[in-house]
Amino acid sequence: MTMTPIRRAALSPLGIIASGLTLSVAAAHAQGAPSRASTKPWRASSTVEIATGYDDNIFLLADSKLDNLRTPSASSRMSGRYTDMESGGDLVTTLRAAAEFKGSGMAGRPMRLAPEIEYDAYARNAKRRNASVSLAADHSLPHHGELRLRAGMTPSYFAKNYLADALDRNGDGSIASSERIYAAGTYAEREISVDYRLRVAKSTKAHPFGAAVSLEAGYYGRSYKAPFAARDLSGPTVTLALPFDLTRRFAVEVSYERLQLAATPTRSVLLLDETQFNRDFNGNGTATDQSARAFEMVDRTRTENNAGVEARYELMPHLDVRINYERRSRDYGSAEPYDIANNGRRDSRNEFGFELGWHVMHGLQATAAVRSSAQMLNRENDPGAIGEVDDYHRKQFRLGLARQF
């Protein structure tokens, strides 16, 4: 499925939902309060979870570059290429606290509010530590329908270091690795969505088959801190999900998501081969430098398509297994002639996941999960030396324990 913090609560995702809930309550009072027989008292519950696991490639680097973090070269240290990137793999501990409030909404129909906060602590890569907040609001509708609102934001997230500038110190026209200047690529992200879910067939003991359809529309935004405003992305999202209960113990969900993310074309520092374009980018009177500093237009606009399937099977009471697969593809829309990193770029990623969940005792749930993913590009890695494009492989392992109150 990462936002500049919103300055006014009324304009933030959480503020929008809160405003919507206020209007809903006001509308309910305007129509007259429901009878006591149809009104359910509000109940509160909470969940605290701690999970720890290992991620062997948190910066999504190519296999050949992971060793560079363990033993960075002198030129890498000078350029800041791996500053604050202490280790390619890391032990990640996640702390999550969530609350849930259930009661009656408009017309006495069931309603749920669920705020949540999460914090990721990285053992070695301290700069990657981050927190996020989210809010969910669900309201039952007539004819087996449900309206669901979701909003979330992450104020600060360190992705990796990107090329910010270059300085030809020796004056030879080409930029050596030690003459590059990298800076932290840190961004904030926000997202909000509204989802309508309709139950088509109800699963019962006598007739276990059940089906529903869910259609979600939303907005996603990512904003980078200076000097990387050219990397900002934002745009609409749409998701279609089809969950099925095939038996009382076996369920499957198929989903498709599309994101149309736009960026503003902006001039950025690139390292280009002048012989490829027959142009003097650095203004030294020749067009033969193979790694010349160029300041040209870059456009990171992209369309993203995610298709996935998840299967859940109850092995025995209080023990179930989940298996999922997702295929992600990204098509970049840049038409800028010197934007070799994004012009014609297509990425594809395959991701597999396996998770066991079991009920330990009343109010205590444990999980164990493993995830493997691989990204493939349609061309050579990292042209233009901007730092973010690689084929990569990644494996994640996780153990979690959640306590409900």
Task: State mean pLDDT over 234-239.
Answer: 98
The residues with which 244 forms a beta bridge, in sequence order, are 211, 252
pLDDT band at 148 (very low <50, low <70, confident <90, very high): very high
Predicted pLDDT at 39:
74
Predicted pLDDT at 15:
47
Please check whether residue 344 lies inside any domain of the structure. yes
Domain count of the fold of the chain: 1
Share of the chain above pLDDT 90, in %: 75
pLDDT band at 17 (very low <50, low <70, confident <90, very high): very low
Mean pLDDT of the chain: 88
Q: Is the pLDDT of residue 99 over 60?
A: yes
Predicted pLDDT at 202:
87
Check if the beta carbon of residue 379 is closer than 8 Å to that of residue 344: yes
Please check whether residue 382 lies inside any domain of the structure. yes
Domain of 326: which CATH number?
2.40.160.40
Q: Which residues contact 338 (CB under 8 A, 6 or more apart)?
A: 270, 272, 277, 294, 296, 297
Share of the chain above pLDDT 70, in %: 88
Predicted pLDDT at 22:
43
Predicted pLDDT at 280:
96
Check if the beta carbon of residue 154 is closer than 8 Å to that of residue 132: yes
Predicted pLDDT at 38:
59
Task: State mean pLDDT over 347-352.
Answer: 96
Task: State mean pLDDT over 369-373.
Answer: 98
Predicted pLDDT at 8:
36
Please check whether residue 52 lies inside any domain of the structure. yes
Q: Is the pLDDT of residue 24 over 60?
A: no
Predicted pLDDT at 385:
58
From CA 66, how far away is CA 391, in angstroms rounded?
12
pLDDT band at 331 (very low <50, low <70, confident <90, very high): very high
pLDDT band at 191 (very low <50, low <70, confident <90, very high): very high
Predicted pLDDT at 210:
92
Predicted pLDDT at 37:
43
Longest dimension (CA), the chain: 86
Predicted pLDDT at 381:
58
From CA 230, how far away is CA 218, in angstroms rounded?
23
Please check whether residue 210 lies inside any domain of the structure. yes
The single-letter DSSP state of residue 282 is S
pLDDT band at 34 (very low <50, low <70, confident <90, very high): very low
Q: Is the pLDDT of residue 28 over 60?
A: no
Least confident residue range of 7-16, 111-120, 363-372: 7-16
Please check whether residue 3 lies inside any domain of the structure. no
Can you give the three-state secondary structure of 341-366, one letter per residue? CCCCCEEEEEEEEEEEEEEEECCEEE
pLDDT band at 383 (very low <50, low <70, confident <90, very high): low
Q: Is the pLDDT of residue 16 over 80?
A: no
Task: State mean pLDDT over 235-254.
Answer: 96
Please check whether residue 1 lies inside any domain of the structure. no
Produce one character per residue of 276-296: b if its CB has 16 or more CB atoms within 10 Å, e if not. Answer: ebeebbbebeebebebbbbeb
Please check whether residue 316 lies inside any domain of the structure. yes
Please check whether residue 2 lies inside any domain of the structure. no
Residue 91: both structure tokens together: 């032990």
Predicted pLDDT at 384:
57
Predicted pLDDT at 382:
60
Residues 286-317 have pLDDT tens digits of 999 999 999 999 999 999 999 999 999 999 88
Task: State mean pLDDT over 327-334.
Answer: 95
Task: Residue 222: give the domain boundaries.
Answer: 9-32+40-404
